[in-house]
Structure 1
């Protein structure tokens, strides 16, 4: 057996050697130059590219490999690789997720067109030209949301609240591959887990704190898992199952990351759903809560392996991403005094670096994972933790040092 892996992740995120050990296959990995040397002797061949994001030689090289010896499986777990991997499988007649399936999860318009018959979605339109947008505004009014149909981490998302915003949007020109949606006022939930054959194998629902656009206001993005007694716990599960059953899902287990709105008049609407692991601390949060590694199992399933669903834990977790501010980061105190913090990641290379705020929902100077006995306790702890970070982070704004809270040695 021969398996090709298209990888964008850091070796700190994926442990292919451990996850794929014992599988009788030749493994060939394509990754960034800076990561290749950190992948061990487990791989039969390691091929690096300076910019794997745009270098199409990756795919011509895989085609050439297939011509010399048949490739049986292609593994791709990063969101930006799913569609091209599906096209590659079809081109080489390899089993796995097709381009049609990947597109349904990547293109937000295609997705909502497929789902709108069975679930609530916001009114939407693909923007082919400015007149599509003008007609949508005329029909639905403001506010509306403009977003790329295939972006991630809320990059490029704009809320057009009034005529001033609309004029500014037109003045700056419209990018390609956009859609417009009616703005939905409500809480946003994300659901993560595993799915196969019309069944949810692992279900982990959470509620966002501050929302995925919090970074645009220099606020933190947080998340807290739901208690099973939460009134939305079962409703979200049933809505999710309806959505996934309406999409062209591969014939093997997939990871999913779905987002839903819950409105003031008690409606649940789909925001979007992806067939990959969510960002931030979602994977580790689910792993600490259940003992199941969604990323690991989604990777194993792509090369024909039976996934392992032995739940060894049953607790609630929450996480927080602390965004950069507009200024130079001078120091961050990493000595957290809270025993309920499971994981704290502070990138030391950011010390001394200047920022213009966050550029996406997952852009952060620190990420933290915590646990608690209830969603209320976790939410309170997240707020406490953010206040602590404000008091223990030093920024320099313009030319004068400005200290948020207290300094530390």
Structure 2
């Protein structure tokens, strides 16, 4: 009996699969993306990291390549469970489970979270506010939508992840240029594209865990930047948890709970919901995913509640005992209580940008409130603009008693890091 892990994006070594699956009676098998391994400058993990078999797949993203290797390994290793943690692997993992008749999330439970139009349809039917939107099959669809709703207009693939493929058109001239140069009626994005009215106001996100069909923990944060600007944003991208006495925090929790009840999801999953807070103090659903959020959200939830949401999510799928700190949290949730975070946090991210790395700090400064510190580049490396919203130069996580203290500490850490970083212009 073995468990197969699909790992498409980011560091493999940063996810301690063997520790997470402690107690599993079987082998651990890994399929990862060869191009991703090269991008994060890592070698394949081996037996010393708990893998009976690890393989980097060339053409991981190409239709059928990954699936063929997964089906072959399923026969050779007696795969009985299949897990994936990345957004773009969820559909493929669900389809493979159905083919192999494995337990876990199947396509009908993934689609309401992965297909943004299906998400919005379920949410709207339950009275959850969404932005006006329309599927785009032709240029006429897009022109009609902008005529009705004006500019800016947001264009997204229905199943995008990490803000990839997202476009914001601000003027009729930008729309004309897009239709003339980039709109391909017969291309791979058709009919996968939809248009959405632009929503003013900051983006909030709520991250949590559902076990046995019940939300056992969740807490909101607020991005202090525009998610879609990852390729051009060279400034600090800061994400702050909301204070426990902030009324907006509890409104967001209620809003996302209504959204979860509207979606036919699996019994056990982590979730990452994004919600606009408009200037007129309304909440509008952007999207919701049935997986742990990216960047340092795993660590944020860990600091808030004392458990790693990805570890809990994966162990629940395999029927393994859950971490002890979760017992008290789950008990409180079962009686209608709302677990409150133990601390406040702030995430600081700098994206890759063009240039040659001359010097970069490898260790965190001696600030006791720095909870996580990771650098993704090395001296001598030549960088290009970020390719997706997780293409980081540097990430850090700080803690504090309240949001004001976290804001001050994030600014101090950013100033220190930029003072140590030397980039040579391309």
Using the size of structure 1 for normalisation, the TM-score is 0.88
Assess if the C-alpha contact under 8 Å between 1:194 and 1:200 holds in 2. yes
2:102 is aligned, of 94, 106, 128, to 94
Summarize the alignment of residues 286-301 of structure 1 with structure 2, pairs less than 5 Å apart. 286-301=301-316
1:195 is aligned, of 174, 194, 210, to 210
Is 2:390 aligned against 1:374? no
CA shift at 1:94, angstroms?
2.0
Summarize the alignment of residues 13-32 of structure 1 with structure 2, pairs less than 5 Å apart. 13-32=14-33
* Distance in 2 between residues matched to 1:359 and 1:242, nearest whole Å: 34
* Distance in 1 between residues matched to 2:417 and 2:44, nearest whole Å: 35
Give the equivalent residue in structure 1 for 2:253.
237
Summarize the alignment of residues 137-156 of structure 1 with structure 2, pairs less than 5 Å apart. 137-156=146-165
Give the equivalent residue in structure 2 for 1:82.
90
1:220 is aligned, of 229, 236, 239, to 236
CA shift at 1:181, angstroms?
0.8
* Distance in 2 between residues matched to 1:268 and 1:110, nearest whole Å: 19
Give the equivalent residue in structure 2 for 1:125.
134
* Distance in 1 between residues matched to 2:421 and 2:22, nearest whole Å: 42
* Distance in 1 between residues matched to 2:201 and 2:277, nearest whole Å: 5
Give the equivalent residue in structure 2 for 1:11.
12
Assess if the C-alpha contact under 8 Å between 1:11 and 1:38 holds in 2. no
1:361-395 deviation line (CA, Å, top 9, x unaligned):
33221111111110122123223333333443323
* Distance in 1 between residues matched to 2:77 and 2:414, nearest whole Å: 53
* Distance in 1 between residues matched to 2:24 and 2:276, nearest whole Å: 41
Summarize the alignment of residues 340-351 of structure 1 with structure 2, pairs less than 5 Å apart. 340-349=369-378, 351=379
Assess if the C-alpha contact under 8 Å between 2:18 and 2:28 holds in 1. no
* Distance in 2 between residues matched to 1:297 and 1:55, nearest whole Å: 30
1:13-72 deviation line (CA, Å, top 9, x unaligned):
221211112122343332346553445373444344234333734323443455578643
Give the equivalent residue in structure 2 for 1:362.
390
CA shift at 1:299, angstroms?
1.4
SS in 2 for 1:138: helix
Q: 1:365 to 1:66 in 2, by over 3 A?
A: closer
Give the equivalent residue in structure 2 for 1:331.
359
Assess if the C-alpha contact under 8 Å between 2:240 and 2:346 holds in 1. yes
- More displaced stretch, 115-124 vs 376-385: 376-385
Over 4 Å off, 4+ runs: 32-35, 64-70
Using the size of structure 2 for normalisation, the TM-score is 0.85
* Distance in 1 between residues matched to 2:258 and 2:152, nearest whole Å: 28
* Distance in 1 between residues matched to 2:359 and 2:54, nearest whole Å: 37
SS in 2 for 1:277: coil
Assess if the C-alpha contact under 8 Å between 1:206 and 1:224 holds in 2. yes
* Distance in 2 between residues matched to 1:396 and 1:93, nearest whole Å: 53
Q: 1:158 to 1:17 in 2, by over 3 A?
A: same
Give the equivalent residue in structure 2 for 1:255.
270
RMSD, aligned α-carbons = 2.5
Aligned residues: 396
Assess if the C-alpha contact under 8 Å between 1:198 and 1:244 holds in 2. no
SS in 1 for 2:92: helix
Give the equivalent residue in structure 1 for 2:200.
185
Assess if the C-alpha contact under 8 Å between 1:210 and 1:221 holds in 2. yes
* Distance in 1 between residues matched to 2:73 and 2:161, nearest whole Å: 31
Give the equivalent residue in structure 2 for 1:109.
117
SS in 2 for 1:232: helix
CA shift at 1:237, angstroms?
0.9
Q: 1:330 to 1:62 in 2, by over 3 A?
A: closer
* Distance in 2 between residues matched to 1:382 and 1:41, nearest whole Å: 34
Which runs of no fewer than 5 residues in structure 1 stay unpaired?
A: 399-409
Give the equivalent residue in structure 2 for 1:73.
81
CA shift at 1:285, angstroms?
1.8
* Distance in 1 between residues matched to 2:29 and 2:60, nearest whole Å: 15
- More displaced stretch, 17-26 vs 56-65: 56-65
